[in-house]
């Protein structure tokens, strides 16, 4: 009887299908990992996975990003480190469709500015213009949850 209980223990202890955990220590380490991969747009990111109607990624910025608007996805940001200004609402200036349901441009006209720092959590609904501004010499690392809302 003990042998059967011992042999079934790994089955009971296994994580459920689709379960994922990213520890605070692991996420904090991405600041340095991604800083080494920053591109000409002063940004680097890594996808963590897609789970049904939502996906996870971590991003690191060392400069301002483009204005963006996702027609079928909401964004949730969980700030890991650094500081930035989020411009939200208004309209994307000179909008261009860069991928299906994705609009980008150089800036936002008429948005509201929100200061962001470590520990902040932000929800940006689909069809809402937004842009992260990071001052020169500063950095900003954040987890992004993208939720399909079609």
The answer on pLDDT for 31 being more than 60 is yes
SS3 25: helix
SS3 107: coil
Q: In this structure, is residue 47 part of a structural domain?
A: yes
**Parallel, antiparallel or unpaired: strands 73-88 and 140-148:** antiparallel
27-31, 74-78, 104-108, 126-130: lowest mean pLDDT where?
27-31
The answer on pLDDT for 147 being more than 80 is yes
Q: In this structure, is residue 14 part of a structural domain?
A: no
For the entire predicted model, the pTM comes to: 0.85
Q: In this structure, is residue 60 part of a structural domain?
A: yes
**The pLDDT of residue 10:** 52
Reported confidence tier of residue 6, pLDDT bands at 50, 70, 90: very low
**Percent of all residues in the chain with a pLDDT value above 70, rounded to a whole number:** 91
C-alpha distance from residue 21 to each of 18, 24, 29, 48, 143 (Å) = 10, 10, 15, 10, 13
Reported confidence tier of residue 28, pLDDT bands at 50, 70, 90: confident
Note down the domain range covering 144.
38-148
Placement of tokens 């962001």 in the chain = 116
What mean pLDDT is predicted for residues 44-48? 92
What mean pLDDT is predicted for residues 110-136? 97
Q: In this structure, is residue 112 part of a structural domain?
A: yes
Average pLDDT, the chain: 90
The answer on pLDDT for 3 being more than 70 is no
- Looking at residue 16, the DSSP 8-state letter turns out to be P
What mean pLDDT is predicted for residues 62-90? 97
pLDDT digits over 85-122, tens only?
Answer: 999 999 999 999 999 999 999 999 999 999 999 999 99
Q: In this structure, is residue 10 part of a structural domain?
A: no
Tally the domains of the chain: 1
Domain CATH for 64: 2.60.120.10
What mean pLDDT is predicted for residues 20-39? 85
């Amino acid at each position: 009887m003990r042998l059967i209980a011992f042999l079934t223990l790994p089955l009971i202890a296994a994580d459920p299908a689709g379960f994922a955990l990213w520890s605070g220590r692991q996420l904090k380490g991405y600041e340095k990992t991604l800083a080494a991969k920053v591109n000409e747009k002063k940004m680097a990111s890594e996808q963590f996975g897609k789970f049904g109607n939502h996906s996870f990624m971590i991003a690191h910025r060392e400069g301002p990003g483009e204005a963006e608007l996702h027609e079928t996805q909401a964004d949730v940001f969980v700030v890991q480190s650094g500081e930035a200004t989020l411009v939200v609402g208004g309209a994307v200036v000179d909008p261009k469709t860069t991928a299906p349901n994705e609009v980008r441009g150089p800036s936002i006209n008429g948005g509201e500015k929100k200061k962001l720092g470590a520990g902040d959590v932000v929800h940006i609904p689909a069809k809402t213009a937004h842009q992260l501004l990071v001052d020169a010499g500063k950095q900003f690392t954040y987890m992004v949850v993208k939720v399909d809302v079609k």
